[in-house]
Each structure stands twice: as structure tokens, then as C-alpha cells.
């Protein structure tokens, strides 16, 4: 079964992870209802199913055909035809199941309060568990096939050759594959093991309400998760402080519940680690993509060894804002007294299209088609999923959830999520179904490469000092959000998993103390944390997919190298990158990136990003010191 069917939580984009963006604050105090959003700003989920009756028909196709796998049980090693027919049946039903799952949860994210789509989601999640149970025998049986016989199957059956890499990956993981009965049991437990993430998502997106605060003009305005980040960008420090106090005060009321769900998720990871005979959760997480744990730990070590530029940036922020103390709610306040420009949706689309011209005319044309063909759900409405993400299936076009607010942040978010979309758009058309998904390790490269190219376009095309300062700030904070912050989150993940791995307990106090210590270390002595800021570690949905967020940092580092090669017009750089966009998971991710022009087994991509960040901070300091 595909990752897209199982890990809905991991699809929430970077925006939600770092909570710096949000949709526009309308003049009314309440978020709009879905019915108030004009159709041209809504995605067209009917492109997957034009009626729920058709959804039900496909649901029954899966339900009626699951039993066909029983005929293959105990016979996969008898002939290449048996093995191939099993894999082809699994792919054909998985594709249908993808459509069912994605449709249900896209509809749910239009308004998480609609119980009908909660039920559809639960139904397909349950059916997928049955599906996984029905095919659980396959990996152990494949492992039981003698290696020479398996190679003979591949030589004798050209139609089986497409599965070569897939089969080699299974064989490589032999020591971690359990018996067919044990694999079936784990498959049956799928909905239970996914429960912590689902409970957190429902509480965080549907149940938590934050009350109202006074805006800059003294008007009562409803605080939502999306609006919270907009308040953090206010020039009025009282508004920023009030928003932060109410936001974290709400989370404090549910601290024990949040700690319970996160603890359960970590213990689920630990259970699977033990069941599959890994030495640690991080080893288990990275093993499927053949990534050495040293890549993860080197990234953390490199960040810890180079925190001085981040500490310097905190000091510059404090200086520019003329503050006696710098608090977390000051980290996204505008540094210039003049408000940055707001961009209409049409303006945002044009800026991004123009900025990505270095990627070629065909890329721009396909990108433009996606912007205007029902791919994107643009604006916030009550109950809508938070943040931003890109999703879809092999047979559908990509879908983008946005909560666009007109800020420059969200212009970059459009570039980011459409980078994902184009990667999927191309790989779905150039890879067989079995390889159309992307490894998490490479999934963020296309999105962050877009951001880097767009940023350099905007910096190149301004001579205005204030605009340059605004863009430098955006670039600096982009690196903080995508590189340093994700490594900070990863260090927190490592600490809470290692706490369980060594036999110690998790608790509200442990989560808060650990998050506070790591957060303070990264930001340094210029930052003063408030008494509730350490609750943030229990409010991040990405933590329900173990060791996901560090790959934002690796992808970002890779993207800086690749984007600069393209902008420098290095021979073959663009062609290699466009070829990379057409790839899914037909190679291990480190090999795919090496083909594209960046070697993630070395420290150079990480060091390049750190040097870039330090240089941007120095450039900002020079601008500040100019008369």
C-alpha cells in the first residue's frame, strides 16, 4: 500500500509546521463559510469522482477483490507469472484505493466538521487495513524465494522487470520482515497505530477554539490557527503578545491530552522498532531509503556547530525592533515600519511564473496550466485544514490546499507547493505506478528549489534598499524555517524517542523541558522564552510521522546547490534537474540526487547552506549600518 494512503498527517506542508503564515484577516470577525468562497478559488475534487455514488462503486471494487489475493498465498515462488500477476493486481487495486482515500480526505479538509467525510475517511482507512492484511503474506514469501530463482524469474519474464528495484529493496530489508502471520497482525493494527495522529489532527483542526482578541484598531477578532500567524506579523507588539498568550493558553488547557497523544505516537514507533528488530527508531525510519543514520546526525551536529549566525540574527532583530527583550512572538514582526505589499492572487501567480523562467518554457507552461485548472483551494474557510500541502494520486492531477492571505510569505508558499505539484505531475507521467511516489528524502527538493530561484529573481530585480531588506529578511527567515527550525524539531524528536528507547518515561514536564532547552540553545541568549512557549513541542502534527521534518533541511540544502547550478547555467544542470523531476522512487534517494548534481553523503550541501545564511545576515547588517 502507498504512503499516500496511510500518512495523511505528513502531507501538511511546511507552513503548518513552522506556523509563520496564515490567511488574510477579513473585515468580518469570523472566518468565511465554505459556501462564501467563489468556485474559481476552490479545487475540483470532482475530477477524481464526479459523484459519491462513483466513490461507492470503487469502494466496492476494492471490497469485492481483496479476496483474490488468497489464491496467491503460498504460490508466489512457484513461477514468475504468479509473482507478476500478484504485483499487478496489487498495483491496480492500490491505485483505486489511492483515489478513494485522497478524495475522502480532500473533502474532509474542505471542512473538518462535516461528519459525512469523517465517515468516508474512516471507511477507506479501515478497508485499507484489510487490504494490507490481505497482502501481508507477500514480503515474507518473496524473501523465501531463493535469490538465484528470483533472478531467473526476472530474466525469464520481461514484464516482471519493472519490479526489479522493488524486489531488490524487499530482499535488502530481509532481516526486518516478519513472518506472514506477524505481518498480517501488524497490518490489522494499522488503524490503531494511526490513532494518535488522527486524534491530534481532529483536536487541533476541528475542536480547539481560541476565542477573540483586540486587533490594532481595538476591534474584537476571532483568533484561529491560521490567523494567529498573521497576528504575529503585526507591527503592534500588544497584538502579538495577546495572540501568543491566548494561543498558547489554549494549548495549555489541553497539555495532558496533547502529551498523551504524542507519547502514544512515540511508543508506537518504539513498538515497531522492536518488532522489526532495529536498534533505534531513527535507524528504522531511514533504513527503507538506505540512508545512513550518519546523514541525520551530521546535519544536527553541523547546525549545533554553527548557531552563531542564528544568534547574531536574533540580536539584529532585537536591535532593529528597538526592544529591551526579544520574545518568540517578536520573531515574525516586520522589521520595517512600512507594511510590506499585499499581492492579489493573480499577482502572486504572475510573480511566481516570471520568477521560475530559468526552469524553461515547458515547465512554465505546465505550471501555468496547474494554476488555472482546479488544482488549488486558495482561501481559508471555517473548518478547513490548516497550512498548505500538495496531494493527489497517480491518475489525478495534483491538488494544493492553501490558506492564501496576500502576503509575500504566501507567494513563496505557492511557489513551494507548486514545486511539489510539478514533481508529481512529471513523475506520474514518466514512472510506472510502483515508483510514482517520492521518498520523503527527495520530496521537498522541487519545492525548495522553486523558492530559491524565486528569491534570487526578486533580489536581482530590486534596487530599493527597503525592498532588498524585506527580501533579505524573507530569505533569512526561509532558511531559519526550512533548515534551522526543522533541525531543531528533529533534535527534539531524537530526544523524545531516545527517552523511550532507554526505558524512561515521557510526560508533559519532559516534553516542555526538552523543547525549551533545545529552542533556547538554537536562538541563544538574546531570546527570552515566555512561560508557555515550550508547549509548542506538543502541537506540531509532523511529529506523528517519525523523523519526517529533518528532510526539509536535507532537501533545502540540496535545493540550494541545484538552484545555483541552474542559475549559473552550468552545462547540463537544467537538463539533469528536469530529469530528476520526472523520477519517483525507482532509485534510492541519495542516488537520485547525485544524478541531479548534488552529493548528500558529503557535508558540502549543508556547509553551503550555512555559509549562505551567514552571508545574508552579514549583508543585512551592512544595510542597517548604511546612512
Active site residues: 417
Do residues 49 and 58 touch, judged by C-beta distance below 8 A? Answer: yes
Map residue 598 onto helix, strand or coil: coil
Residues near 322 by Cβ (< 8 Å), separated by ≥ 6?
A: none
* Paired residues of 390 in beta bridges: 400
How far apart are the C-alpha atoms of 145 and 154, rounded to whole Å?
12
* Paired residues of 220 in beta bridges: 214
How far apart are the C-alpha atoms of 76 and 89, rounded to whole Å?
13
- The CA–CA distances, whole Å, from 376 to 232, 399, 441, 454, 488 equal 26, 6, 25, 20, 31
Burial of 129 (0-12, 13-18, 19+ CB in 10 A): buried
Angle at CA of residue 423, ends 420 and 427, nearest 5°: 140
DSSP 341-399: PP--HHHHHHHHHHHTGGG-HHHHHHHHHHHTTT-EE-S--TTPPPS-EEE--TTS--E
Do residues 32 and 381 touch, judged by C-beta distance below 8 A? Answer: yes
Task: Name the one residue in this structure whose C-alpha cell is 555559509.
Answer: 611
Task: Name the one residue in this structure whose C-alpha cell is 494554476.
Answer: 371
Task: Name the one residue in this structure whose C-alpha cell is 522489526.
Answer: 276
- The CA–CA distances, whole Å, from 171 to 12, 142, 328 equal 32, 8, 48
Cell of 511: 516534553
* Paired residues of 399 in beta bridges: 391
How far apart are the C-alpha atoms of 7 and 541, rounded to whole Å?
11
Amino acid at each position: 500500500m502507498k504512503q499516500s494512503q496511510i500518512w495523511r498527517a505528513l502531507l501538511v506542508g511546511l507552513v503548518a509546521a513552522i506556523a509563520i503564515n496564515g490567511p488574510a484577516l477579513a473585515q468580518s470577525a469570523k472566518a468565511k463559510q465554505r459556501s462564501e468562497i467563489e468556485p474559481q478559488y476552490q479545487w475540483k475534487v470532482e475530477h477524481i469522482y464526479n459523484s459519491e455514488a462513483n466513490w461507492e462503486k470503487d469502494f466496492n471494487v476494492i471490497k469485492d477483490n481483496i479476496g483474490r489475493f488468497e489464491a496467491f498465498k503460498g504460490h508466489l515462488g512457484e513461477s514468475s507469472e504468479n509473482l507478476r500477476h500478484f504485483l499487478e493486481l496489487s498495483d491496480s487495486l492500490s491505485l483505486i484505493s489511492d483515489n478513494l482515500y485522497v478524495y475522502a480526505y480532500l473533502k474532509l479538509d474542505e471542512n473538518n466538521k462535516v461528519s459525512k467525510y469523517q465517515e468516508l475517511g474512516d471507511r477507506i482507512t479501515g478497508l485499507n487495513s484489510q487490504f494490507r492484511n490481505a497482502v501481508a503474506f507477500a514480503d515474507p514469501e518473496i524473501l523465501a524465494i531463493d535469490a538465484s530463482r528470483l533472478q531467473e524469474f526476472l530474466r525469464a519474464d520481461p514484464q516482471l522487470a519493472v519490479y526489479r528495484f522493488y524486489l531488490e529493496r524487499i530482499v535488502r530489508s530481509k532481516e526486518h520482515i516478519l513472518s506472514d502471520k506477524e505481518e498480517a497482525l501488524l497490518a490489522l493494527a494499522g488503524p490503531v497505530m494511526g490513532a494518535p495522529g488522527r486524534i491530534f489532527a481532529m483536536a487541533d483542526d476541528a475542536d480547539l477554539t481560541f476565542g477573540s482578541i483586540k486587533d490594532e484598531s481595538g476591534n474584537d477578532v476571532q483568533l484561529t490557527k491560521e490567523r494567529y500567524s498573521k497576528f504575529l506579523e503585526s507591527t503592534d507588539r500588544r497584538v502579538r503578545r495577546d495572540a501568543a498568550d491566548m494561543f498558547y493558553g489554549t494549548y495549555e488547557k489541553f497539555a495532558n491530552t496533547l502529551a498523551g497523544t504524542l507519547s502514544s505516537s512515540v511508543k508506537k514507533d518504539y513498538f515497531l522498532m522492536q518488532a522489526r528488530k532495529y536498534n533505534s527508531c531513527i535507524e528504522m525510519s531511514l533504513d527503507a531509503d538506505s540512508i545512513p543514520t550518519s546523514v541525520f546526525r551530521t546535519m544536527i551536529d553541523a547546525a549545533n556547530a554553527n548557531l552563531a549566525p542564528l544568534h547574531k540574527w536574533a540580536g539584529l532583530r532585537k536591535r532593529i525592533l528597538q526592544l529591551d527583550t526579544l520574545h518568540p512572538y517578536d520573531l515574525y514582526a516586520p522589521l520595517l515600519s512600512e507594511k510590506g505589499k499585499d499581492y492579489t492572487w493573480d499577482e502572486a501567480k504572475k510573480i511566481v511564473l516570471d520568477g521560475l523562467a530559468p526552469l524553461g518554457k515547458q515547465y512554465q507552461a505546465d505550471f501555468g496550466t496547474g494554476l488555472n485548472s482546479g488544482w488549488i483551494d486558495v482561501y481559508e474557510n471555517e473548518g478547513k485544514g490548516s497550512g498548505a500541502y500538495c496531494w493527489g494520486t497517480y491518475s489525478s492531477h495534483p491538488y494544493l490546499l492553501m490558506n492564501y492571505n496576500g502576503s509575500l510569505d504566501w507567494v513563496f508558499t505557492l511557489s513551494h507547493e507548486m514545486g511539489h505539484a510539478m514533481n508529481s505531475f512529471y513523475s506520474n507521467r514518466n514512472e510506472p505506478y510502483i515508483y510514482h511516489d517520492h521518498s520523503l528524502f527527495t520530496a521537498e527538493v522541487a519545492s525548495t528549489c522553486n523558492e530559491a530561484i524565486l528569491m534570487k529573481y526578486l533580489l536581482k530585480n530590486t534596487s530599493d534598499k527597503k525592498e532588498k531588506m524585506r527580501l533579505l529578511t524573507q530569505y533569512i527567515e526561509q532558511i531559519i524555517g526550512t533548515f534551522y527550525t526543522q533541525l531543531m524539531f528533529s533534535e527534539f524528536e531524537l530526544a523524545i524517542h531516545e527517552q523511550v528507547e532507554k526505558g524512561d518515561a515521557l510526560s508533559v514536564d519532559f516534553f516542555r523541558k526538552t523543547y525549551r532547552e533545545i529552542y533556547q540553545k538554537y536562538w541563544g541568549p538574546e531570546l527570552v522564552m515566555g512561560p508557555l512557549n515550550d508547549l509548542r513541542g506538543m502541537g506540531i502534527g509532523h511529529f506523528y510521522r517519525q523523523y519526517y521534518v529533518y528532510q526539509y533541511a536535507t532537501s533545502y540544502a540540496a535545493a540550494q546547490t541545484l538552484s545555483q547550478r541552474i542559475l549559473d547555467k552550468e552545462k547540463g544542470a537544467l537538463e539533469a534537474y528536469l530529469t530528476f523531476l520526472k523520477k519517483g522512487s525507482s532509485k534510492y534517494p541519495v542516488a537520485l540526487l547525485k544524478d541531479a548534481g548534488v552529493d548528500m553523503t558529503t557535508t558540502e550541501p549543508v556547509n553551503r547552506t550555512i555559509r549562505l545564511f551567514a552571508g545574508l545576515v552579514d549583508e543585512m547588517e551592512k544595510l542597517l549600518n548604511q546612512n
